[in-house]
């Protein structure tokens, strides 16, 4: 009988163990050692300050915009403004474009012979998004001129071509009867050019057209009927047409 009386006293022990497990399932009860050890490993993963999350999203978005611009053949965050008055200063350009966002740099294109501003500027923004917003300035009137603003393309051939056209005058090739005419106002017509070169016999005028807008790109090639007409035209290099000194050089064949 004594042994039987002792048996019930040993059975409740598993119940006590079960009672100790209850706090594990109750987050709001008294924490036990096991729960206290688990909680710190979970809490840091759940805590993400709003500022850090937003910054991460912005960085990811910026990287996507830069990648998209590069894929489309544009320089990320960079636009080119042309058709500006020659009296425009870098400070004027900065003030105009900083309205859309912080700038990294502003580069003014100048005539190699005189060093004067030639109405063309390259503006680099800190973000691609701000650069795209600044395209709203396309057609903006400054003084008596309407500015053109477009994204800056990246092509090795166009860079080489620009150097050939604006930095050094190409030599006349054998049989050449054509001339490159650049730095033209956007609204210059064939009639204007024929009047400008009235002392030369013109066979045809070929304007460079912007595929995106359908407008003039500010330069053309003119075919002349004879060598004398070509020489007269090239001799008019830097003569003024509609307030702009026109670049005239032998056409590159």
Give residue limits of the domains in the chain: 52-154, 160-250
For 166-221, write each residue's pLDDT tens digit.
456 678 888 889 999 988 888 889 999 999 999 999 999 999 887 777 778 889 99
pLDDT of residue 49: 57
How much is the pLDDT for 179?
Answer: 93
Convert 70-100 to b/e letters by CB count within 10 Å (16 or more is b).
eeeebbbbbbbbbbbeeebeeeebeebbeeb
pLDDT at position 243:
81
Using 50, 70 and 90 to split pLDDT, how confident is the model at 27? low
For 142-168, the pLDDT digits (tens) are 888 899 999 888 654 444 444 444 456
Q: What is the mean pLDDT of residues 6-11?
A: 49
Q: Are 165 and 183 in contact (CB under 8 A)?
A: no
3-state DSSP assignment of residue 116: coil
What pLDDT, on a 0 to 100 scale, did the predictor assign at position 229?
A: 94
Q: What is the pLDDT of residues 53-105, one digit of tens each?
A: 454 445 455 555 545 544 456 788 899 999 999 999 999 999 999 999 999 88
How far lies 227's CA from each of 165, 177, 230, in Å? 21, 6, 5
> Which pLDDT score is estimated for 64?
54
52-154 adopts what CATH topology? Alpha-Beta Plaits (3.30.70)
Residue 92 CA to residue 83 CA, distance in Å, equals: 14
What is the pLDDT at residue 112? Answer: 73
pLDDT value, residue 167: 52
Report which of 240, 109, 105, 251 is spatially closest to residue 167, judged by C-alpha positions: 109
Q: Where are the alpha helices (DSSP H) in the chain?
A: 2-10, 13-25, 33-46, 50-71, 90-97, 128-133, 156-162, 190-196, 227-234
pLDDT at residue 21, rounded to an integer: 52
* Cα-based angle 160, 165, 199 (whole degrees, multiple of 5): 160
Residue pLDDT, tens place only, 98-134: 999 999 888 888 877 677 888 899 999 988 899 999 9
pLDDT for res 202: 95
pLDDT > 50? residue 35: no
Mean pLDDT of 35-43: 47
Of the listed ranges 38-42, 137-141, 165-169, 223-227, the least confidently predicted one is 38-42
pLDDT at 233: 93
How far apart CA 121 and CA 101 sit, in angstroms, is: 17
Domain range 160-250, CATH class: alpha beta
């Amino acid at each position: 009988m004594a042994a039987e009386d002792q048996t019930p006293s040993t059975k409740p022990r598993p119940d006590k163990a079960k009672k100790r497990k209850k706090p594990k399932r109750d987050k709001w009860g008294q924490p036990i050692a096991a729960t206290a050890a688990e909680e710190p490993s979970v809490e840091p993963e759940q805590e993400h300050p709003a500022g850090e999350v937003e910054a991460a999203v912005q960085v990811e978005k910026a990287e996507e915009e830069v990648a998209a611009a590069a894929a489309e053949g544009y320089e990320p965050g960079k636009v080119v403004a042309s058709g500006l008055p020659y009296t425009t200063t870098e400070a004027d350009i900065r003030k105009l474009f900083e309205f859309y966002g912080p700038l990294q740099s502003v580069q003014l294109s100048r005539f190699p012979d005189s060093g004067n501003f030639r109405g063309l500027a390259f503006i680099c923004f800190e973000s691609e998004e701000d650069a795209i917003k600044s395209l709203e300035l396309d057609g903006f009137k400054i003084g008596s001129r309407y500015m053109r603003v477009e994204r800056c393309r990246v092509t090795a051939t166009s860079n080489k071509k620009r150097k050939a056209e604006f930095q050094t005058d190409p030599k006349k090739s054998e049989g050449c009867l054509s001339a490159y005419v650049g730095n033209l106002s956007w609204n210059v017509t064939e009639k204007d050019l024929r009047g400008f070169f009235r002392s030369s016999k013109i066979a045809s005028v070929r304007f460079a057209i912007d595929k995106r807008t359908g407008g003039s790109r500010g330069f053309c090639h003119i075919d002349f009927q004879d060598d004398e007409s070509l020489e007269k035209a090239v001799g008019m290099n830097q003569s003024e047409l509609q307030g702009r000194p026109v670049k005239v050089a032998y056409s590159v064949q």
